[in-house]
Amino acid sequence: MSDNLLEINDLNISFTTFAGTVKAVRGVSLDLKKGETLALVGESGSGKSVICRSIMGLLAKNAQIDSGEILFHGDNLLAKHSRDMRHVRGKKISMIFQNPMTSLNPTMTIGYQVSEAILLHEKVRRSVARKRTVELLELVGIPDAIDRLNNYPHQFSGGQRQRIVTAIALACNPEILIADEPTTALDVTIQAQILDLLKELQRKVSTSIIFITHDLGVVANVADRVAVVYGGKIVEVGRVDEIFYHPQHPYTWGLLRSMPTTDTDDAELYAIPGSPPNLLNPPPGDLFADRNPYALTADIHAEPPMFQVSPTHWAATWLLDPRAPKVSLPPAIAARHQYFRERQKVEVPQPILSGGVR
């Protein structure tokens, strides 16, 4: 029996627009284990949030799930009626959205909004919900929580609002917490506090976390595993140390190289050339081919499968085909390993190589 809490198998999602059909998610397969933090990394528009909204059953009306399944404890969430999903959403699987100011109702007190989440799913008295609300606000670090129950969202700072949204998401002790770029628009100091909060909460309540971000620096500090998303597809997945020290996909190389460091000056800042693919009319072959300086002829004609690098590490690049020419890790990436060791606290693994395709 699988020890996975959540499994996504061959998920394909499209959106109907006036311009045509957008293939936003293409053949995504992922798994999440109990107590694990999985980071989804990629550029804006790569499909990270769409994947997670499909787990929550919160896709837009013009979205169509073309194929695939999302198994939670072996139960396919995509087969559930919207009425049944209400018993899952918020209670067993919760989500922290990007902008806390748009997630909170400006006309309602934060005490009401946190307790509402409890009363919606738990058969408890209001007095019990109020006590639980105070405990949650204290858990996420809101000072003088009992005295601030009647305050409104605008009376809190951006970091405090993000903590309140986190309290709402944790109201019913969910098994899975999805955090959609929770540190966006926060200053660096507050970002660090929110990340520390999520790690501490996971330690206390053993919640599994799916963390969406475009910032690999954040990933190094919070994730156990990383899935790199490009053009609606998972192009590489592995333990965080494998992604940082033994990346295999050229897109992952580009993301790592584009990470600014304290030693980087303006002239050395790197950006991946070109633009993300047009998912209205995706070209044949590998969607990263026209941005890939290491592209092979095969990339133009055929989309690469997932090649196995180690028991926990897979990448979709023809460079891993036994017939492909051998390409060394770019010097710019290798030069950053010392920075990762010293600043990001990512331990260096020993490479474990084995063949395999999926």
Q: What is the dihedral angle through the alpha carbons of 325, 331, 334, 335, rounded to the nearest 10 degrees?
A: 180
Separation CA 23–CA 242 (nearest Å): 29
4: part of which helix (H) or strand (E)? Answer: strand 4-17
Given this model, what pLDDT does residue 353 score? 44
DSSP character string of 170-199: TTT--SEEEEESTTTTS-HHHHHHHHHHHH
Contact assessment for residue 78 and residue 70, using Cβ atoms and an 8 Å cutoff: yes
For β-strands 37-41 and 4-17, DSSP reports them as: unpaired
Given this model, what pLDDT does residue 347 score? 58
Structure tokens at 348: 């260096």
Structure tokens at 189: 């100091």
Nearest to 194 by CA among 98, 102, 258, 58: 98
Separation CA 130–CA 126 (nearest Å): 6
- Span 334-347, mean pLDDT? 67
Structural domains in the chain? 4-223 (3.40.50.300), 227-344 (3.40.50.300)
- Is it the case that residue 358 has pLDDT exceeding 70? no
Structure tokens at 88: 């899952």
**pTM of the full structure:** 0.90
What's the residue count for the chain?
358
Measure the N-to-C terminal CA separation of the chain; round to a whole number of Å. 21
pLDDT tens, position by position, 286-324: 999 999 999 999 999 999 999 999 999 999 999 999 999
Given this model, what pLDDT does residue 255 score? 92
Number of C-beta neighbours around residue 29 at 10 A: 17
Percentage above 70 pLDDT, the chain: 91
Residue 67: phi and psi, rounded to 5, are -170, 170
- Is it the case that residue 17 has pLDDT exceeding 80? yes
DSSP three-state, residue 60: coil
Q: 342: which residues sit within 8 A by CB, 6+ positions away?
A: none
pLDDT band for position 150 (cuts 50, 70, 90):
very high
- Is it the case that residue 259 has pLDDT exceeding 50? yes
DSSP three-state, residue 35: coil
Separation CA 69–CA 12 (nearest Å): 9
- Is it the case that residue 346 has pLDDT exceeding 60? no
- Is it the case that residue 105 has pLDDT exceeding 70? yes
- Span 202-220, mean pLDDT? 87
- Span 188-217, mean pLDDT? 85
Angle formed by the axes of helices 158-169 and 126-139, to 10°? Answer: 130
- Is it the case that residue 216 has pLDDT exceeding 90? no
The conformational region for residue 102 under phi > 0 = left, psi -120 to 50 = alpha, else beta, is: alpha
- Span 7-23, mean pLDDT? 96
- Is it the case that residue 355 has pLDDT exceeding 60? no
CA 112 to mean position of chain CA atoms: 29
Given this model, what pLDDT does residue 356 score? 47
Average pLDDT over the chain reads: 89
Structure tokens at 139: 């858990």
